[in-house]
Chains A and B, each alone.
Chain A
Amino acid sequence: MREIIKMVVVLTVLSAFSGGLLAAIRGETKVKIEDQQLKFVKGPAINKILEGCSNDPIADRFKIKDGDIERSFFVGVFDGKANRFAFEGTGKGFGGDIGLMVGVNIDNDQIVGMGVTTHSETPGIGSKAKTDPKFSDQFKGLAAIEPCKVKPDGGGIDAISGATVTSRGVCVGVTNAANIYKRLKPQIAEKLKEFK
């Protein structure tokens, strides 16, 4: 009996100590990890979308509460005006979720650029959504308040050959982003005024 109690006590104390230590370290590194992810995963896409801006979009970011989720917006200052920003959207692709960044110009509601950040599409086929500029450049200049579709679905986007599902997923992601934009536009406009 004494042995069993000892086993239970030792394991419990050990696990509790371990849990406490990990929670403390996680708390310490949380902000840093978020920064690193922004820099290496989303950073390249953000910088490409907001190419030519005079500030650092990753440093100049703000968050808006959208229901239960907090969404991050990355501000790009052009000619002294903070009128463009990039934010995240997700769609379902062939191999799982596709994460992408969409840049919008709030003055004319136009998409200024789109870049895929994370995906698990087939390398060499669906993965072109991330690497082929011919595909991603098609989104430039589209209206950010309308749903976006590939040509077979009656839209204006040329799908990547052999990867219609992926292309459709990207379009859904952009449409989702557009819906977020429509919903949060007043708050975004308010926040953008702080960046001059």
Chain B
Amino acid sequence: MAKSITQEFTKGLWDEIPPFRLVLGLCPTLAVTKSVENGLGMGVAVIFVLVCSNMLVSLLRNIIPPKVRIACFIVIIATFVIVVELLMQAYTYPLFLKLGIFIPLIVVNCVVLGRAEAFAYKNGIVRSIVDGFGIGAGFTISLVAIGALREVFGSGTFFGIPVFGPSFQPFTFMIEAPGAFVCLGLMLSLMNLAGNE
């Protein structure tokens, strides 16, 4: 049974939320979520790339020969990633400095390639755009949630604004790499707990 347009969007927010349900795109999820700002910036970049690449893949799906489809997807995705990279350098340079190598690495983000292969190559253009938005929004929400958890406990701030009194001792473990794994694990288990009921 075909899903309605709204369902295509909302599935990305819960049923198929990328890092938690699909467990895809973990590299940026773990690496850039030191703060809410970084998570949000990364999420917005991924939304842009996802929507544009889904749109173009869906538009060209009858022209692209099946044997070279992955190569074509990568060309399309890489193009939009470099567009994002250039725009970020031109307009939000401090954010670009923080995200650094993880912007170019969106090219090999499984979420983006996965949606092109599993969805956009088989569906119409409107549905593909909606799917890109939904999955991208889900990815952004996940990054912001992990970022918030790590930033609040790891540096005692939210979006750079202090949330605790001056006596707060930051739990720096949270903003280091192992803290990312612990956060992701905790959130995965919570999601599974909520999903089983």
Contact = CB atoms under 8 A, between A and B. Distances in A.
Interface of A: 3, 6-7, 10-11, 14-15, 18, 21-22, 25-26, 29, 32-33, 36-37, 39-40
Contacts of A33: 86, 89-90, 93
A127 B97 CA distance: 18
Dominant SS at the A interface? helix
Contacts of A39: 93
Contact of B75 (A14, A32, A37): A14
A25 B83 contact: yes
Interface stretch (B2-10, B63-71, B137-145, B159-167): B63-71
Nearest to A21: B79
A36 B71 contact: no
A36 B68 contact: no
B93 A26 contact: no
Contacts of A15: 75
Contact of B76 (A7, A14, A22): A14
Interface string B54-85: 00000010011101100110011011001100
A32 B90 contact: yes
B97 to A, nearest CB: 7
Given A29-B86, A29-B87, A10 B78 contact: no
A43 B65 CA distance: 50
B64 A40 contact: no
Given A11-B68, A11-B75, A25-B86, 10 more contacts: A3-B65, A3-B67, A14-B75, A22-B79, A22-B82, A26-B86, A29-B87, A33-B93, A37-B89, A37-B93
Contacts, number: 55
B89 A29 contact: yes
A18 B76 CA distance: 7
Contacts of B90: 29, 32-33, 36
A22 B76 CA distance: 11
A7 B67 contact: yes
A29 B78 CA distance: 18
A36 B72 contact: no
B94 A40 contact: yes
A11 B71 contact: yes
Contacts of A40: 93-94, 97
Contacts of B68: 7, 10-11
B96 to A, nearest CB: 8
B71 A32 contact: no
A75 to B, nearest CB: 23
